[in-house]
């Protein structure tokens, strides 16, 4: 595979360098200049090896060069973040200005925005300094800020706290990986809104287009559940989805469709390609096809607000189209790796983004596993054949992502193989129809807009219905599953060996996969035994609550006040991850007086 997809090897080495740079930075105090010196030496060694045509030495030197690029880029990015943190903490300020950079997101009792600071007031003067932050405002405000507006906030920015309990989600690191270093919770008396003049800065065009699209959807999709689904899938904002609606997609294994991702772009890309394929038969039609594809994908990307996931997928699709129009042979895995390479060079922290990891794993699964799975059956009926193809597509993506999904989410939907084909089928109608609704609304033809709006609503309702099927079936979700990093790596190694054994028809790789299964079982069993025998006593840090736990085998005795026993959200946020990590099978709750 690497011979046909050299960028795969390059990306793997770059990613290893990024991880190594992070590890070195956490364990040593070596300045980044030493990595720069090593990079210069690797560059010199590469040039010498190339000059004297020593292919092995050149390959090794270039691998070292790419590795050091990844390590240096990550090291430099983290040092820049530390420098911004130190500068802001050193300022003696009591108020600051901030420009709103994103559309609002509803949270519990608050509205969240991303902002970028402009100036800090220190005494009697203002100091200009730009740093990204999250600002939370009350959800009862009559007028909400929009991108481009400015806020004058009385108070100081706060650095998110690291996790206080074992296994707890590291929200501070999550925000840091997204280059957000500060948060601010602001009440309605602590800020002043300064509305900006609209439509002046191209930087806010995506947000303006997304806000316009939200208005069109609200106008033409009357059913609340259908509107919430379309808004989540097209605009990436889940604030109008119901709790049970989200739960249906979780237990069906289709929760990924509620976030704008590469899959959505791929669906739009395939539909546009099928609709405009005839244009390529004209003279210069291929280039017109390229232009129309870029125009429509660009419009869709603007509608979504240009999140990183859409940028990645749109880049990959345009590389595919360019290779096709230029009549260049391309291997899909190489194209996929090239888009990942560009993203990681621009933002090495993207490697830590769960959406980035799952998107690329899903596409890898489709490219490598779809054909072998699809070849298992050859239905003669066209309808059955289409259903099987969609099922094979869903299986390929699910197989490639399930180890990482277990690692992050600790649950497995048992009926994904039944539901995902239906969800994907209806999604293939819903997404293009929703985009068509926006395009037709620009023409002002009310009858056509009404008709397409009905199609979108019906497709959304069918998608919701299919996602809700598992609720009526027994054992629809296996929860509290735990894999550590080593187990995830071993699982992917086994999967890769099995795939390579199938491709090369080699029994040796099959034997290696069998040995990998044995090692995985041994590691998992040893880890489970050690966890079972470990007796912990933990005092959890939970705001406004007193919580203590005692672990014995797979039983956890949880002593808390009555209010915590009734607070499900507090348990899920502060304690649940520990129970999964400790492989707790039963919790005995003891309420203190």
pLDDT digits (tens, 9 = 90+) for 348-358: 998 998 878 88
Reported as a pLDDT band with limits 50, 70 and 90, residue 1 is low
337 and 465 share one domain:
yes
229 and 181 share one domain:
no
Q: Which of 139, 172, 196 is the last residue of a domain?
A: 196
Q: What is the DSSP letter of 233?
A: I
pLDDT digits (tens, 9 = 90+) for 542-578: 888 889 999 998 999 999 888 888 888 889 888 999 9
Length in residues, the chain: 593
Reported as a pLDDT band with limits 50, 70 and 90, residue 226 is very high
179 and 34 share one domain:
no
pLDDT digits (tens, 9 = 90+) for 145-175: 888 888 999 999 999 988 989 888 888 999 9
What is the structure's pLDDT at 458? 94
Tokens representing 503 are 């491709």
574 and 529 share one domain:
no
* Rounded Cα distance, 541 and 561, in Å: 13
Most confident range, picked from 176-180, 352-356, 472-476 = 176-180
57 and 136 share one domain:
no
Q: Which residues of 219-231 are buried (b: 16+ CB within 10 A; e: fewer)?
A: ebbeeebbbbbbb
Contact between residue 183 and residue 153 where contact means Cβ atoms under 8 Å apart: no
Least confident of 425-429, 459-463, 516-520: 425-429
430 and 496 share one domain:
no
Q: Which of 487, 415, 116 is nearest to 251 (CA)?
A: 415
Contact between residue 313 and residue 359 where contact means Cβ atoms under 8 Å apart: yes
Q: Which long-range contacts (CB under 8 A, 24 or more apart) does 165-169 make?
A: 165/538, 165/540, 165/541, 165/542, 165/574, 165/575, 165/577, 165/578, 166/538, 166/577, 166/578, 166/581, 167/577, 167/578, 167/580, 167/581, 167/582, 168/573, 168/574, 168/577, 168/578, 169/573, 169/577
- All residues at 6 or more sequence positions from 113 whose CB lies less than 8 Å from its CB, including other chains: 100, 101, 102, 104, 105, 134, 135, 137, 145
335 burial level (CB within 10 Å; 0-12, 13-18, 19+): buried
* Rounded Cα distance, 214 and 7, in Å: 38
Cα–Cα–Cα angle for 169, 261, 205, nearest 5°?
A: 105
What is the structure's pLDDT at 131? 94
Query: What percent of the chain is predicted at pLDDT more than 90?
Result: 26
CATH number of domain containing 128: 2.40.50
pLDDT digits (tens, 9 = 90+) for 367-425: 888 888 888 888 888 878 877 887 788 788 888 888 998 898 888 888 887 887 888 88
SS3 state of residue 543 = coil
Q: Which of 76, 99, 122 is the last residue of a domain?
A: 76
Contact between residue 95 and residue 153 where contact means Cβ atoms under 8 Å apart: yes
Q: Where are the beta strands (DSSP E) in 483-554?
A: 537-542, 545-552
47 and 125 share one domain:
no
The answer to the question of residue 81 being in a domain is: no
In Å, how far from its chain's centre is CA 216? Answer: 27
What global pTM score does this model have? Answer: 0.85
583 burial level (CB within 10 Å; 0-12, 13-18, 19+): middle
Q: Which of 332, 350, 340 is nearest to 315 (CA)?
A: 340
Q: Which of 11, 63, 17 is nearest to 338 (CA)?
A: 11
Contact between residue 190 and residue 154 where contact means Cβ atoms under 8 Å apart: yes
443 and 312 share one domain:
yes
Domain of residue 583, residue span: 537-591
What is the structure's pLDDT at 200? 54
What is the structure's pLDDT at 529? 92
The answer to the question of residue 95 being in a domain is: yes
Tokens representing 460 are 């959304």
The answer to the question of residue 549 being in a domain is: yes
Q: Which of 549, 554, 555 is nearest to 571 (CA)?
A: 549
The answer to the question of residue 82 being in a domain is: no
| Number of folded domains that form the chain | 5
Mean pLDDT of the 215-230 span: 90
Residue 77 has pLDDT above 70, yes or no: yes
* Rounded Cα distance, 510 and 499, in Å: 9
Q: Within a 13 Å sphere around the CA of 68, how many CA atoms are in the beta-carbon half? A: 18
Query: What percent of the chain is predicted at pLDDT more than 70?
Result: 95
DSSP H or E run through 126: strand 125-128
373 and 449 share one domain:
yes
* Rounded Cα distance, 429 and 425, in Å: 7
552 and 529 share one domain:
no
270 and 399 share one domain:
yes
First to last CA, the chain: 64
Q: What share of the chain is helix, strand, coil (3-state, %, to 5)?
A: 65, 15, 25
Residue 123 has pLDDT above 90, yes or no: no
The answer to the question of residue 368 being in a domain is: yes
The answer to the question of residue 202 being in a domain is: no
179 and 115 share one domain:
yes
pLDDT digits (tens, 9 = 90+) for 488-507: 999 999 999 999 898 888 88
pLDDT digits (tens, 9 = 90+) for 252-295: 877 777 777 666 777 777 777 777 777 777 877 788 888 888 88
The answer to the question of residue 427 being in a domain is: yes
Q: Which residue has the tokens 């009858």?
A: 447
Residue 97 has pLDDT above 90, yes or no: yes
The answer to the question of residue 518 being in a domain is: yes
What is the structure's pLDDT at 329? 62
Gyration radius (Cα) of the chain, Å: 26
376 burial level (CB within 10 Å; 0-12, 13-18, 19+): exposed
Phi then psi dihedrals of residue 511, to 5 deg: -65, -40
């Amino acid at each position: 595979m690497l011979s046909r997809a050299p960028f795969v090897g390059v990306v793997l080495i770059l990613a290893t360098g990024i991880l190594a740079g992070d590890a070195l930075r956490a364990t040593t105090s070596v300045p980044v200049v030493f990595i720069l010196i090593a990079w210069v030496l690797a560059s010199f060694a590469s040039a010498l090896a190339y000059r004297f045509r020593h292919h092995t030495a050149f390959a090794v030197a270039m691998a070292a060069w790419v590795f050091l690029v990844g390590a240096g880029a990550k090291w430099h990015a983290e040092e820049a973040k530390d420098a911004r943190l130190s500068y802001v903490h050193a300022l003696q300020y009591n108020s600051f200005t901030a420009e709103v950079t994103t559309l609002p997101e509803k949270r519990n009792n608050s509205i969240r925005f991303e902002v970028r600071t402009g100036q800090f007031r220190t005494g009697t003067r203002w100091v200009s300094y730009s740093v990204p932050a999250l600002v939370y405002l009350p959800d009862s405000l009559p007028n909400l800020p929009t991108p481009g507006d400015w806020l004058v906030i009385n108070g100081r920015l706060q650095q998110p706290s690291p996790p206080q309990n074992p296994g707890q989600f590291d929200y501070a690191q999550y925000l840091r990986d997204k280059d957000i270093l500060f948060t601010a919770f602001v009440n309605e008396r602590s800020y002043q809104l300064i509305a900006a003049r609209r439509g002046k800065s191209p930087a806010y065009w995506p947000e303006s287009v997304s806000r316009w699209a939200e208005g069109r959807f609200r106008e033409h999709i009357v059913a609340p559940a259908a509107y919430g689904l379309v808004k989540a899938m097209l605009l990436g904002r889940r604030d109008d989805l119901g709790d049970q609606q989200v739960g249906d997609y979780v237990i069906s294994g289709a929760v990924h469709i509620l976030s704008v991702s590469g899959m959505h772009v791929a669906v739009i890309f395939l539909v546009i390609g099928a609709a405009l394929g005839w244009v390529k038969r004209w003279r210069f039609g291929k280039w017109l096809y390229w232009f129309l594809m870029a125009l429509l994908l660009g419009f869709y990307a603007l509608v979504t607000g240009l999140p990183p996931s859409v940028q990645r997928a749109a880049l990959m699709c345009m590389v595919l189209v360019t290779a096709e129009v230029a009549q260049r042979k391309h291997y899909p895995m190489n194209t996929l790796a090239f888009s990942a390479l560009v993203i990681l060079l621009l933002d090495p922290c993207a490697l830590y983004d769960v959406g980035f990891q799952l998107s690329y794993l899903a596409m890898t699964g489709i490219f490598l596993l779809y054909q072998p799975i699809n070849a298992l059956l050859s239905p003669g009926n066209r309808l059955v054949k289409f259903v099987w193809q969609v099922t094979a597509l869903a299986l390929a993506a699910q197989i490639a992502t399930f180890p990482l999904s277990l690692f992050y989410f600790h649950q497995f939907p048992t009926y994904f193989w039944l539901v995902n084909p239906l969800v994907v089928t209806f999604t293939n109608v819903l997404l293009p129809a929703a985009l068509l609704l926006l395009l037709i609304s620009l023409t002002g033809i009310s009858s056509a807009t009404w008709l397409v709006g009905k199609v979108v609503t019906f497709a959304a309702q069918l998608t919701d219905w299919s996602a809700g099927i598992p609720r009526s079936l027994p054992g629809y979700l296996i929860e509290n599953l735990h894999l550590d990093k080593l187990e995830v790596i071993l699982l992917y190694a086994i999967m890769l060996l099995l795939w390579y054994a199938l491709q090369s028809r080699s029994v040796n790789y099959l034997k290696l996969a069998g040995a990998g299964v044995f090692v995985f079982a041994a590691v998992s069993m040893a880890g489970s035994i050690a966890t079972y025998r470990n007796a912990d006593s933990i005092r959890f840090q939970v705001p406004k609550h007193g919580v203590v736990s005692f672990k014995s085998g797979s039983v956890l005795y949880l002593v808390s006040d009555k209010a915590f026993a009734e607070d499900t959200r507090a348990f899920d946020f502060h304690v649940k991850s520990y129970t999964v990590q400790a492989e707790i099978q039963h919790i005995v709750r003891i309420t203190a007086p």
